[in-house]
Amino acid sequence: MVTPTSVRTVDLRSDTVTKPTESMRSAMAKAEVDDDVLGSDPTAMRLEKEMAEIAGKEAAMFVPSGTMANLISVLIHCDERGSEVILGDDSHIHIYENGGVSSLGGVHPRTVKNEEDGTMVIGSIEAAVRGPKGDLHHPVTKLICLENTQANRGGRCLPVEYIDKVGEFAKKHGLKLHIDGARIFNASVALGVPVKRIVQAADSVSICLSEGIGAPVGSVIVGSKEFITKARWLRKTLGGGMRQVGVLCAAALVALNENVPKLGDDHKKAKILAEGLNRIERFRVNVAAVETNIIYVDIPEDPKFGAEDACKSLEDVGVLVLPQATFRIRIVLHHQISDVDVEYVLSCFEKMF
């Protein structure tokens, strides 16, 4: 349904829906570019250098999407077909990336339950590991993947101490650790900890530029120089090598400088909205779980009016959200949502039933 132009539109479907700012568009228009596949685009190199420094890793590489970033990372670490990756049962890689690690890489996913705080119990990870000297019927574990923030747990932040313990466990067992850090900047701001410290234990990290910080396109993979060299080969294989990509990287550089400082405001607005929704008798929000910019709203379990119906009803008044489950709605804040927008959304929810 097309929302009438006379109705205010507040798009909370995701933080990927943001429009490029004027400063981004200006930077894109003026970007110094060359051929990135040949390794000579200066703006791409500047972005990659800055991202490597932010993450405390040796090197970085721009890719078109977070899905490709995670796929490349998993395939490098699980370099033998039939090897295994341990990851959360509610993780983005497992649920939302088309099974690419298995269909394209022949990698076997072994899931461990994501707890309410987004972590996986280390004892459960240990129980899931299968080594080369084990039962020959089983694949061999090579990689552990974490997600920070954990989107399907409401944008929860994995504590640094937990990641360090998983990293120590991985090294002890000869495994690699990859972090899906699509919203790692949100985690950094919420925890008050630099990105490089959060991902210190990781062998590789994917960082989204279009989620969280609002660039129009792209993600970056960070890791060792050897890892990124292998990643460039795989990126080309997967069709992710682009030419004058500095046009996109220029917008990402603006996002790093202008939007990362705004994330704290996004989190505050999310908390205000969550608290307001939870005060409405018909809705339930776990306010304590709203640590960053994602909110899950549970609605009354009426078989005649589920989350999809609620989303359509809200769309009629210009509020765009997504159904997460039969009776659950997902809301994601971003830098283009104002205090007035938050008030309007609350008023629309109040009038829904």
Categorize the per-residue pLDDT at 307 as very low, low, confident or very high, splitting at 50, 70 and 90.
very high
Residues 6 or more apart in contact with residue 83 via CB below 8 angstroms: 107, 108, 139, 140, 141, 142, 143
Q: If pLDDT is split at 50, 70 and 90, which confidence band does 4 have?
A: very low
Q: How much of the chain exceeds pLDDT 90, in percent?
A: 94
What percent of the chain stands above pLDDT 70? Answer: 98
205 is written with which tokens? 């990290």
Joined together, the tokens standing for residue 148 give: 């920070």
Residue 134 near residue 168, CB atoms below 8 Å? no
Confidence label for 6 from pLDDT (cuts 50, 70 and 90): low
- Inter-residue contact 232 to 81 (CB < 8 Å): no
Q: Is the pLDDT confidence value at 245 over 50?
A: yes
Tokens of 152: 């399907």
321 burial via Cβ count (<10 Å: 0-12, 13-18, 19+): buried
Split at pLDDT 50, 70, 90, the class of 2 is: very low
String of DSSP letters for 9-78:
-EE-S-TT-PPPPHHHHHHHHH-----TTTT--HHHHHHHHHHHHHHT-SEEEEES-HHHHHHHHHHHHS
With cut-offs at 50, 70 and 90, classify the pLDDT of residue 75.
very high
Indicate the SS3 state at residue 223.
strand
Q: What is the pLDDT of residues 270-301, one digit of tens each?
A: 999 999 999 999 999 999 999 999 999 999 99
d(CA 82, CA 92): 21
pLDDT for residue 96: 95
pLDDT digits (tens, 9 = 90+) for 153-174: 999 999 999 999 999 999 999 9
Question: What integer pLDDT is reported at residue 70 of this predicted model?
Answer: 98
pLDDT in tens, 172-229: 999 999 999 999 999 999 999 999 999 999 999 999 999 999 999 999 999 999 999 9
Looking at the predicted structure, is the pLDDT value of residue 3 above 70? no
According to the model, what pLDDT value does residue 135 have? 83
Q: What is the pLDDT of residue 173?
A: 96
| pLDDT number for residue 137 | 86
Cα(84)–Cα(101) distance, integer angstroms: 10
